[in-house]
Structures are given as C-alpha cells and as structure tokens.
Amino acid sequence: MFDALLSPLTRDPMLQVLIVLASLTVFLSGILVAAFSSHFKYADLKESAYAYGKFAYGCFLKPHSGDTGNQQDALESFYRAQASAYDATREKLLRGREDMLGLVAAQMAHRKESGALLNKIIWVDIGGGTGWNIEEMGRFLDVQTFFHAVYLVDFSPSLCEVARARFERLGWANVKVICQDARKFRLQDHETPDVEKAASEISGAPYEPDQPPALVGADLVTMSYALSMIPEYYSVIDSLANLLSPTGIFGVCDFYVQSRHDYQNRNYTGGFVDRHCTWISRTFWRTWFEIDRVNLEPARRDYLEYKFGTVLSTNGRNHFFGVRIPYYVWIGCAKESALTENRIAELDAAATESPFLSALDLQVKTQYQRTNYFDNRSKAFMSAVVNLAASLPLPSSWYQNHHWRIYYDDRLPKHTQFNNDYIYAFTWEDSRVDARLLKIQPDDVILALSSAGDNILSYLLQGSKRVHAVDLNPSQNHLLELKAAAFQALGYADFWKVFGEGRHENFQQLLIEKLSPHMSSAAFQFWLHRGPDTFGKTGLYSTGGSRHAIVLLRHLFKVLGMRTEVDRLCTAGTLNEQKEVWHRSIRRVLLSRLLCWAIVSNEKWLWKALGVPPNQRALIEHDYIRQGDAQDASRDIPTARANNTGRAIWAYVENTLDPVVENTLLSDDNHYYLMCLQGRYSRRSHPEYLSPSAHVQLSRPGAFDGLRIHTDEINEVISRMTPGTLSIAVVMDSMDWFDTDGREATTQIERLNRALKMGGRVFLRSAGCNPWYIQRFEENGFAPKRVAVRVPGSCMDRVNMYASTWICTKVGEIEGHRLRKTSSPVTPLEL
C-alpha cells in the first residue's frame, strides 16, 4: 500500500527536482562540514562557502556548453567558473596525490644519489592544472634547485592562469606553464638537447615513426587525476612513452573501478591488494563521475600498465562523506631499455648461482654463453621469456632498484594459504652459536630459511659472499625486505624505533618517503596496508601467527597483577636475582596446571600458538618415552589428561625454560625471552643486527648485493641451482615437519647433495635428540655430526628450545640412485 501511494508522487517532475535538490544540498553540506572539520575557523567561513558554492555550481548545476567536439572547450566549460576555487575544494576529494608525489620524489632522490641521474633533471606535470602538485613537491624536494626545468602542461586556459599566478607569487623561475594538448607537447621545442645525457641513454621508440629519436627526455612525468578526463587517452599515453627518458620515472594518481576478472591473469601489475571493486561500486562510481565527463573504464589503467613497466602500485579508498571512492597510485618506468637482456641474464643467474654471477662479481662485461652443464632456468627467466614473446611488460620485480627479491607468482594457492600474514615476527635461532659452529668465510654461498630475517642479516654481517633466503610465505619475505630497505634508507634512531621498539609514530611517512625506492611492489603494498597498525598501536612483536602465546602470557601477567614481577625479571642485574624472581612467581604461572591443560595438552593450540606441528611433537614424545620418563611416577607433572603428549611436552617446556633462567641473564644477554616478556628489545639486550656497528656495516652502499630472496619451496629453489655451488644450507628445524613414512625428506636431502659442493654443510636443529631423518643423510652422501645436545638441566644455547643441533657434511655425490664418494672436493666451473 505504501508503494502504491508513493509511486504517483515520485512521478511528479516537480517533486523529482525537489528531491534531487534536497539530496544535493545534504551532500554538499556534508562536504562543507568535512572541509572544516580538521581546521575550522570562523574567519574562513565566508571564503570557503563561496569556494564550495562555485564547486557545486560547476560540478552539478551549470550546464556543459563544450559539446562542439573540442576538448579545450569542454574543459573550459567545466573549469572556468571554478578555477579560482579548485584547490580549496579538491583537498579531500583528490586523495593519493601527496603519496604519489612522495613516492616519485623518493625514487628521484635515490636515483640522484646513486648517480643514475645527471644534473639537468626535467619534470613534466601533465594535466597539472593550477600547479598544486608542483608546489606540494616542495615538501619533498627543493623544486628550484633539484630540477633544471619543470613544465606544467594543461589544456585549460583558466587553470593555467591560476598556475602562472601561483609560480609568480612563489618566484620559481624554472617552472614553465604550457597551455597545450599533451599529445603535441615536445621537450625539444623548449629544451636544448643534453648531449652528455643523451650519450648515456638509448631513447625509446618515438611516437611519430618518421621523426628521429629525441635527445631530450623527461626524468619525471606525473599525472594527477588527469588520465580519467582525457578522451583520446591511447594517443596521450603513447606520446608520454616517447616523452619519458629511458631512465625516467612516471607517477600517476587517479580514480578507477575494476573487477578482478580483468587483471587476474597478469603478472606485471605489481600486486592486486584491494584492486577489485564490487559490482555496486563499479556501477555507481562510473555513472556518478560520467556526469562531469570523468571516465573510469578499466582500459585507461590497463593500457598505462601495458605501455610502461610497473615499479610500485597501490590501491586505496577515499573515505569521503561516508562513501569509499576507489583510487590508485602507480609508479612506472620505461617498458624496455638497453638493459633488458642484461637484466634477464643477471636475474636468471642470481636465482640459479650460474657462472654469470661470478662475472658480475668480477665486473666482467663480456657476453655470457650458457653451457649444457648449466641448463637450469629460474622462474624469473621463464616469466620474462613468456612476457617478451607476448610484447608484455616484464613482471614488476624486474624494474626495481635492487635485485634482492626474485620473481614469484603471488596468485598460487601455496602462497595465498598464509592469508597475507607472517608467522614469525622474530627468529628463534641463536645467531651467536650459529656463527661459532659455521665459521662463515668470505667465499661462502649460503641458503637459509628466511623466517623473520634476523638470521639472514647475521650471515650478511659475517661477510658471506651470497645468501639465498627462502620462504614459501610471501609475508615472511616482506618482513626481510623491510629490514633490508630500512638499513639502506633509515638512520639508526629511526631504525631502532622500527625494529628495536617495534613501533614508530611516522611509519607510513617513512615507508613512502624513504623506504619505497628499496622495496618491491608486493612488499610495499603489504606494508602500506599493514604497517601503520603493526608499528602503531599493536607493535611489531605482537603480530604474526606466533603472537598468540606471547600475547596470552602478557595478558595473563597483567590480570594476575604480576607486571612488576615481570619487570624485575627483565631488569635483574645478576643470575641469582633473576632466579629468585623466577622461582618466586613467574615459574608458577608459566608452568602452572592451568597453562598445561590449556596449551600443553591441547594439540591444536600447541600448533597454533607455539608452532609445533604433529610430526615434531611425535619426536618429543619419542624421546620422552625412550628416556623412561613416562613411567617415572615420582615426578609431579600437572596435566589434566595422563597422556604421553601432555607429559612429554610439559617436560620439554620445563627443560627449556629452567636452564635458560639458571644460565643466561635476560637483561644483558638473552633478548629472545626478554622480547617475549616486554614486547620490545632493550639497548643492552637485542639481536646483533640492531647494534650501531651492524647498522654502519649494513647501511653501506652494496651491503645487500649478495642477498637473494626466494619465495618458494626450498626444494624448488635448490633444484634450479647450479650443482656444486652452495657451501652451507641452513634448514633450521624444518626437517622435523616431514612425515616419517613419506619420501619428502629423502627428496630434499638428495637435492641438497646436488646443490652443495663437496665438503658443503647442512646445518639443522631438531626437537629430537636423534631425529629419524639423520639416517637418510647418511644414505645420501652426508656425514652427520651432532654438535650440540640438550640434556635435562643443561642449556644448549640462549634459546634452548631444540633438543639437538647437527652439521651434515657432504662426502659423496649422488649419481642417479648410486652414491659415489670422492676424496677431493669438486670445484664449480667459474668464468
């Protein structure tokens, strides 16, 4: 009945107009309130109301008169009435511009510092309008001194008039405002060719085939909310491909809508985080923006990504008056250059330890010819071949400033199974013991599991030739990448805040303005979305899958009013003082009946909170039974269920924690447990990589040239490596996870044998004193040696979490299914 009454009313044209006007009034009132909410001043009320009145009239009420087919007439019809109020009304609507400028400024500063840019640096801002972008760039770079010339190119005379007045007021003589169609703009019409610069670059294909390659190229091109307003965008993007220098940077920020079905099979977009827009969002925003002749069809962004290489890409939502407007920020570069073939060969070699790396290390610039012996190809090489054959850009990892991160396909289920989260925020291996046992030499090539990256940094600090970090979880490698970037970009004070305290009040600013040039697009997207919360309220060391047990204990201590006792334990100056606090209070909680029932006897929680998988738990139970503790009725083991699992794990935890307190001082020399209790490191107790001396060493240029980050299974990585090139493989406790009845352990051992040189070593830890797979090493060309074992009451290292440590030395080669032992080491072929 209500619909029947309402229907005749809504068909009344006058009523329809009134409804539209009322809705528009409410919408614009909201915009006005939002504009004033952050910095309201009564004195600005009249001026702001006037500005937003112009904005409303120009966008929603004024009829368009530029229907002659002339784009300049159409722009003037839209902008003439609101040109003077443009900047005041776009601050909250056009989000992402500051981030785009910060990102391109960081790229330019890095390239200038590394010598990739010469003195005459030119910036062209396409669709620059009133010049807001150029003035805002002053927050990041000194526009007058950094750039030789800045060209603002826009097709609207009204906006150009505002821009000229702006730069006259600022006194920036190197900024030139050009009112011209972007397709017709040529730098050679305004700049004298820089012969020295042209000699160092090979220009891309010209836009007009009949013209010779231009000797003048822009080092920076930007477009801010302009691409979506250009009707003939294909020709504009083509012309910009010719305008951009082969070593230049291209930054774009704009509205967009897109479905995952459009891009899901592409490997060159730099990641897909938050790119998909729902059907409602796509339909509404395309219809809404078409009112003002702003076009959001996906082809604009798609063609941009096809025409250039993607350096960084991110997607956001502008929370504007209760709605979420999709926008993107994209940083790109020339799609092809003279370095393409060399980069393909270099990255292929980087992933497979081919002889080309030796040539790179020796700075030999000869052409590399691969022999049949080195017939392995990296997945990066395979992706490049496929893309080049289809005339597509290379995957984003090829266009990074550093070669640390090896290409991987982030769409595969084996990577997405981790739900975009890492498990470990810190590493549970004692790096001091690793250094003592491994005795790393300058020519060592190491393969190790990434984990949180602490151990990888330790191997680099010890001066190894190369370190291959391997992890199937992309987020673990994102964390390692963040640490490598922070060493290259941050001073020690900021570095300590981020990784020592696990918090930084300006993390997002650091990420955009300093860290971004040193990161892959996937890692940048991850930390842009996760970083502010991780390094803000939460804290780095309260994140990750392993946080559950740590956070539970902190809450438990707080509820029981034991924070003071925890602080006393963490600040104790002597072992006697530490042991007194431990036995008086802390031990009663950590080894209580409640926790034993909730965690130790709960197999699911044991896996989720402590990361102990079933196969590893079986090793612990086996040792417990073998040692006869299961029949020892004299022990008071508080478990709710009298089963071997509960008793064995409880005894294991007891033998882990008690010796740590008895033998290591948390406040001075055991940062592993100090961090778990406090959620941060201290200036006295912290990992080696957080020391000032380590920061000096790893912040030097080229400190990470030997780092390769692989996102894949360890078997996949080592099977693609050139035989006999690794000298050390660190597999942590990963072998404990294999099934005793399966062949996975044997397969991995065989592949390790193939990749290691004669005399190379596999370094591993285990929850078992004599793990079952050690015999498999003996059967496949290794001589195992247990270099440390934990007995009740002893402390094997500062972590003391594993029962044994092993070094398995390669003594024989595997040929098919036959083992051939040799008395002399095999020397890998070198160039």
Closest CA to 313 of 257, 368, 358, 274: 274
pLDDT at 5: 43
413-503+689-821 has the same fold as 92-334: yes
Q: What span, in angstroms and rounded, lies between the C-alpha atoms of 713 and 392?
A: 27
Can you spell out the DSSP letters for 250-261? EEEEEE----HH
pLDDT at 699 over 50: yes
What ranges in 38-174 are assigned the alpha helix state H? 45-56, 71-79, 86-90, 97-114, 132-137, 143-146, 157-170
Query: What does the block give as tokens for 109?
Result: 């500063």
Query: What does the block give as tokens for 525?
Result: 């997207």
pLDDT at 197: 57
pLDDT at 74: 56
Encode pLDDT of 434-468 as tens digits. Answer: 999 999 999 999 999 999 999 999 999 999 999 99
Locus of tokens 């891309």: 204
Can you spell out the DSSP letters for 361-386? HTT--SPP---TTS----HHHHHHHH
Can you spell out the DSSP letters for 340-361? HHHHHHHHHHHHHT-HHHHHHH
Do 74 and 64 meet the contact criterion of CB atoms below 8 Å apart?
Answer: yes
Dihedral angle, C-alpha 440, 446, 447, 453, nearest 10 °: 60
Domain 413-503+689-821: what homologous superfamily?
Vaccinia Virus protein VP39 (3.40.50.150)
From residue 731, give the alpha-carbon distance in Å to each of 432, 443, 709, 711, 736: 17, 20, 15, 15, 10
Cα(first)–Cα(last) distance of the chain, in Å?
A: 87
Q: Sheet with 175-179: list strands edge to edge.
A: 175-179, 149-154, 122-126, 218-224, 244-255, 323-334, 308-320
State the amino acid at position 616 in one-letter form.
Answer: Q
pLDDT at 12: 62
The lowest-confidence range among 209-213, 755-759, 762-766, 814-818 is 209-213
Give pTM, 2 decimals: 0.85
Q: Whole-number mean pLDDT of the chain?
A: 82
Query: What's the chain's Rg over C-alpha atoms?
Result: 31
pLDDT at 367: 37
Q: What span, in angstroms and rounded, lies between the C-alpha atoms of 790 and 687?
A: 23
From residue 281, give the alpha-carbon distance in Å to each of 23, 277, 287, 525, 583: 19, 6, 10, 22, 60
Confidence tier at 307 by pLDDT (50, 70, 90):
very high
In terms of DSSP bridges, do strands 308-320 and 323-334 run parallel, antiparallel, or are they unpaired?
antiparallel
Encode pLDDT of 10-41 as tens digits. Answer: 456 666 556 655 665 665 555 545 544 544 44
The lowest-confidence range among 124-128, 289-293, 480-484, 534-538 is 289-293
pLDDT at 278 over 50: yes
% of residues, the chain, pLDDT over 70: 75
Domain 92-334: what homologous superfamily?
Vaccinia Virus protein VP39 (3.40.50.150)
Chain centroid to CA 163: how far?
37
Average pLDDT over every residue of 326-355: 75
Query: What does the block give as tokens for 427?
Result: 């590493």
Do 247 and 111 meet the contact criterion of CB atoms below 8 Å apart?
Answer: yes
Domain boundaries, the chain: 2-69, 92-334, 340-392, 413-503+689-821, 547-678
Do 773 and 745 meet the contact criterion of CB atoms below 8 Å apart?
Answer: yes
Query: What does the block give as tokens for 719?
Result: 């099977």
In terms of DSSP bridges, do strands 726-732 and 466-470 run parallel, antiparallel, or are they unpaired?
unpaired
